[in-house]
Amino acid sequence: MKSNSITWKIFRYNMAAIIMLIALITIVFNIAARVYIENDAARQLNTIALRAEYTALQKGSDFFPEQGMLSPPPGSSDSASKGNDDFFKFYFMLDRSLKQTLSVLNADYLLFDSDKNLINSSSEGYFDIPEILLAKIMRELNDSSVSDDGKHLKFDLLGTEYIAVAKPVSHKNTFGLGWIIIYSSLQKVNHLQYMINAMLLSILILSSLAVAIFSFISAKKISEPFLYLSRHIGSIAERNFGTKINVPIYSELEQFINSINIMSEKIEKYDNVQKTFLQNVSHEFRTPLMSIQSYAEGIKYDVVEAGTATNIIIDESKHLAHLVDDLMYLSRLDTLEENYHFTNLNFNDLINNCIERMNGIAINNNIQILCGCSSEKVEIMADHEKLSRAITNIISNCIRYAGSKVEIEFKSTEHSKLILLIWDDGHGFASEDLPNIFERFYKGKKGNFGLGLAIAKNVIEKHKGKVTAQNSESGALFIIELPLL
């Protein structure tokens, strides 16, 4: 898969979207999961704290002496033994109440009196906690203001996160219990989050792999028509114009495919026209050149008279120059090099000028040019020089094949169009020649139409008009349509 191919670009964009989606899901999920777990841990601690508070307050009076009452002497063995047993039982009872709540937390508790002194059983240190943890809890408790409803504490100790709930209960009892602190490490919670992330990552990797494979296949399917188009256009470059694209395509490419097929047809037609044109133009040049060469050799070897040969050579040279001029003019018309200068013209004057220019040629050929033009003034927007040349070329063609006369007539229509009719009394066109008379150097049965009619058609179409030819009852008929002002 090439780096600059459509397949790679589609696949790359899809993969970028997948990676961004994975990153976004992971970040949002972790934030949401962490907030939820911490809130749930705090809720669980509250539940445990309420249960422990209830147990301590309900059963504490059975193990603690009432304030103001006499207890056994501190030094007596009975006093020490009884006190230790009572505290031991009390701690076991609270510990059991903590285990009754289902939780992901490994919760533990601390009891303090009203002066924040730890109340603990001395029985073999069973309920002792690490001093560093006790110091940290005491520091957090002293640094925080605690309301009557309690306070949530969160702190780190030796890389382990802890969460705690401090509940003041001194105002709720009379036996000296001041604080109940329920605490738990979040190690189990962190492990749970790690496992969830591992499962999430596994699911995302498998999903991404499946989506990547699907994306690659989809990208390949999408780019397949372009690869076929590339091969087809390559065949057009090799001058294979006959084939059309016949593959299932997307609706977005339908117009593009149709344009390529139309382009292929037009290029094929243009290529055939060019071949015909080159054949005809080579023939048109070859005839006068051979004539010039023959008479030049005749002069050299005194085969023909110099005066006759010289006149023929001059005439053929002029004919060649005229052909070259027409070719150059037509070439300029086909490109953007030839600028049109449109002005407001009196069409009556333009036709009269064209008739005057062609009248001498018509008289030499014993042809009469008749104009049945209206006296009504008709105005158009046109380039005077180019439109005059187009019309004179058509008149010249009619003079060449006319029997005795050429007639010209024009009129305006209700649809803001000017209709110009030019016809002769000759034999007209052969039916097989009619579709091709405006082709360059098309040679019909009755002679050579040359470049004049091709120039006329090009100029008239540039004036947003059209020209057609047909046979009338008396001969050939040319119909020219031009827009009026």
Instruction: Say what the pLDDT of residue 448 is.
Output: 56
Cβ-based neighbour number of residue 348 at 10 Å: 17
Assign domain 343-483 to a CATH class. alpha beta
Q: How far apart are CA 136 and CA 483, in angstroms?
A: 100
CA distance 192 to 165: 22
Identify which of 77-86, 280-289, 361-370 has the greatest average pLDDT.
361-370
Distances (CA, A) of 478 to 45, 349, 408, 453: 104, 20, 10, 10
pLDDT at residue 244 is higher than 50:
yes
pLDDT of residue 207: 77
pLDDT given at position 409: 92
- Residue 477: its pLDDT value, please? 94
pLDDT over threshold 60, residue 167: yes
Summarised one tens digit per residue, pLDDT across range 98-155 is 554 445 566 777 777 777 777 765 444 445 567 787 788 778 777 767 666 677 788 8
Q: Where residue 465 falls among pLDDT bands split at 50, 70, 90?
A: very high
- Give the pLDDT confidence score for residue 69 in this predicted structure: 42
Who has greater pLDDT, 284 or 299?
Answer: 299
Q: If you average pLDDT over residues 358-371, what whole number do you get? A: 90
Q: Compute the average pLDDT of residues 437-454.
A: 71
**Among all chains, which residue has been given the structure tokens 């605690």?**
146
d(CA 380, CA 382): 6
Average pLDDT taken over every residue of the chain? 76
With a cut of 80, say whether residue 452 has pLDDT above it: yes
Q: Comparing 388 with 125, which gets the higher pLDDT?
A: 388
Going by their DSSP bridges, the two strands 368-371 and 405-412 should be labelled as parallel
Closest CA to 88 of 116, 122, 61: 122
Q: Which two tokens stand for residue 259?
A: 């344009």
Range ranked top by mean pLDDT from 33-42, 277-286, 359-368: 359-368
pLDDT at 102: 47
CATH 3.30.565.10 positions along the chain are 343-483
Q: Are strands 405-412 and 417-424 parallel, antiparallel or unpaired?
A: antiparallel
**Residue % of the chain over a pLDDT of 70:** 75
Give per-residue pLDDT as tens, 20-68. 877 777 777 777 777 777 777 777 777 767 766 766 666 565 555 555 4
Indicate the fold that domain 251-334 takes in CATH. Answer: Helix Hairpins (1.10.287)
Two tokens, residue 10: 């589609």
Is the distance from CB of 383 to CB of 340 less than 8 angstroms?
yes
- CATH 3.30.450 residue ranges of the chain are 6-195
More confident residue, 63 or 294: 294
Helix (H, G, I), strand (E, B) or coil at 170: helix
For residues 468 and 479, the answer to whether their CB atoms sit within 8 Å is: yes
- What average pLDDT does range 164-179 have in this prediction? 78
Of residues 134 and 253, more confidently modeled: 134
CATH 3.30.750 for domain 6-195: no
B/e letters for 360-391, b = 16+ CB within 10 Å, e = fewer, are eebeeeebebeeebeeeebebebbeebbbbbb
- Pick from 1-10, 300-309, 439-448 the range whose average pLDDT is largest: 300-309
**What is the pLDDT at residue 369?**
92
- List the alpha helices (DSSP H) in 100-186: 131-143
pLDDT category at 467 given cuts 50, 70, 90 is: very high
* Cα–Cα distance for residue pair 423/439, rounded to 1 Å: 19
The residue with greater pLDDT, 238 or 351, is 351
pLDDT 10s digits, 407-439: 999 988 877 899 999 999 998 888 888 888 888
Per-residue model confidence (pLDDT) at position 36: 75
Residue in 132, 141, 139, 131 with CA at minimum distance from that of residue 168: 141
| Location of each CATH 1.10.287.130 domain in the chain | 251-334
* Identity at 120, one-letter amino acid code: N
